[in-house]
């Protein structure tokens, strides 16, 4: 397995929520690692089966592992790791975790696999995009792929999710080619990665305080705004009751309904930057 040359680059960001976990359903636990969320799927209990969704920031493996041990017991790695996409802040701890846990299968959309097998890099972050301090310092964020070799597997075309029987994956591109969200029809719970977020991710202060505010995908890393808008429309049409986003606090009920409807209706004003290399092209 190979890290990208810059995966270990200094990433000087954290939030008041780092290390905090919130249970959104008995089997759905959102855990914040610095500025990004990972999800533990599975009922808490020693030896219970579980799945990890997304893999946080670089150097956060010990934090993720310690929290997982509290919830599922020691020596009990997840059955699988599912990735919403492979940006640096969603795969940061992946190689360390795999080295520790052994050959846990990692699943992602087939369009995302080149970024997990060292074949393709993401576009460089857009530091010129309209937005706050985080956009301006996004040159610090690695865009290079990692290589987890044979651990990487494509999600099945039938939209089933390994080890998550009641869930379906939904293709929600725009922020990245192979971005997916997960949806459970039973309680309309949704794990949306960066398809939309609940914090203004380009503003340093708001990231730090995690002030709740609906927004589109992080600006400095989103190359296709038209597709990103369509993806928000797809998610809104499913009427989620619970949403765990990649950034910001997880949300539910009336707040989610109202704000997601607003985001879908006013996507161009709320989410799409006024200028930047991905909108000017």
Which residues are at the interface with Zn ion (CB under 5 A)? 87, 89, 194, 246
Which residue's CB is nearer to Zn ion, number 89 or number 177? 89
Maximum separation of any 2 CA atoms in the chain, in Å: 52
Strand order in the sheet with 36-41: 21-25, 28-33, 36-41, 51-53, 80-82, 106-108, 152-154
- The answer to whether residues 163 and 170 touch, using CB atoms and an 8 Å cutoff, is no
Q: Compute the least distance from the CB of residue 42 to Zn ion, in Å.
A: 23
Q: Compute the least distance from the CB of residue 85 to Zn ion, in Å.
A: 6
Which residue's CB is nearer to Zn ion, number 246 or number 248? 246
| Helix or strand (DSSP H, E) at 228 | helix 225-237
Which residue's CB is nearer to Zn ion, number 77 or number 216? 216
Q: Compute the least distance from the CB of residue 120 to Zn ion, in Å.
A: 15
Q: Compute the least distance from the CB of residue 187 to Zn ion, in Å.
A: 25
> Residue 217's CB: how many other CB atoms inside 10 A?
30
DSSP string, 67-135: HHHHHH-TT---SEEE-S---HHHHTTHHHHHHHH-S--EEE-GGGGGGTBTS--PPPP-TTSSS-HHH
Which residue's CB is nearer to Zn ion, number 57 or number 77? 57
Q: Compute the least distance from the CB of residue 95 to Zn ion, in Å.
A: 18
> Computed over its alpha carbons, how large is the radius of gyration of the chain?
17
Which residue's CB is nearer to Zn ion, number 77 or number 142? 142
Q: Compute the least distance from the CB of residue 83 to Zn ion, in Å.
A: 11
Which residue's CB is nearer to Zn ion, number 117 or number 222? 222
Q: Rounded CA gap, 115 and 178, in Å? A: 10
Which residue's CB is nearer to Zn ion, number 36 or number 72? 36
Position closest to Zn ion via CB: 87
Q: Compute the least distance from the CB of residue 267 to Zn ion, in Å.
A: 17
Q: What residues are paired with 29 via a beta bridge?
A: 23, 40
Which residue's CB is nearer to Zn ion, number 77 or number 223? 223
Q: Which residues contact 22 (CB under 8 A, 6 or more apart)?
A: 29, 30, 249, 250
Please give the angle made by the CA atoms of 126, 128 and 133, to the nearest 5 degrees.
90
Q: Compute the least distance from the CB of residue 92 to Zn ion, in Å.
A: 10
């Amino acid at each position: 397995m190979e890290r990208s040359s810059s995966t270990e680059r200094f990433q000087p960001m954290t939030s008041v929520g780092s290390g905090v976990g919130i249970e959104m359903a008995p089997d759905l636990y959102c855990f914040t690692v610095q500025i990004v969320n990972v999800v533990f799927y599975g009922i808490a209990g020693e030896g219970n089966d579980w799945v990890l969704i997304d893999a946080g920031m670089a150097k956060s493996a010990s934090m993720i592992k310690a929290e997982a041990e509290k919830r599922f017991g020691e020596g009990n790695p997840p059955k699988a790791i599912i990735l919403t996409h492979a940006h640096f802040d969603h795969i940061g701890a992946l190689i360390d975790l795999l080295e520790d846990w052994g050959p846990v299968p990692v699943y992602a959309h087939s369009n995302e696999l080149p970024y997990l097998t060292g074949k393709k890099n993401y576009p460089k972050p857009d530091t010129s995009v309209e937005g706050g301090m985080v956009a301006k310092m996004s040159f610090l964020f690695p865009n290079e792929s990692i290589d987890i070799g044979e651990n990487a597997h494509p999600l099945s075309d039938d939209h089933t999710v390994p080890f998550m029987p009641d869930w379906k994956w939904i293709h929600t591109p725009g922020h990245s080619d192979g971005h997916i969200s997960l949806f459970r029809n039973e309680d309309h719970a949704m794990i949306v990665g960066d398809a939309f977020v609940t914090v203004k991710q380009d503003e340093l202060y708001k990231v730090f305080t995690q002030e709740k505010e609906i927004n589109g995908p992080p600006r400095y890393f989103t190359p296709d705004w038209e597709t990103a808008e369509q993806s928000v429309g797809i998610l809104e049409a499913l009427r989620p009751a619970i949403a765990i986003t990649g950034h910001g606090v997880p949300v539910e009920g009336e707040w989610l309904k109202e704000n997601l409807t607003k985001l879908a209706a006013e996507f161009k004003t709320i989410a799409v930057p006024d200028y930047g290399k991905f909108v000017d092209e």
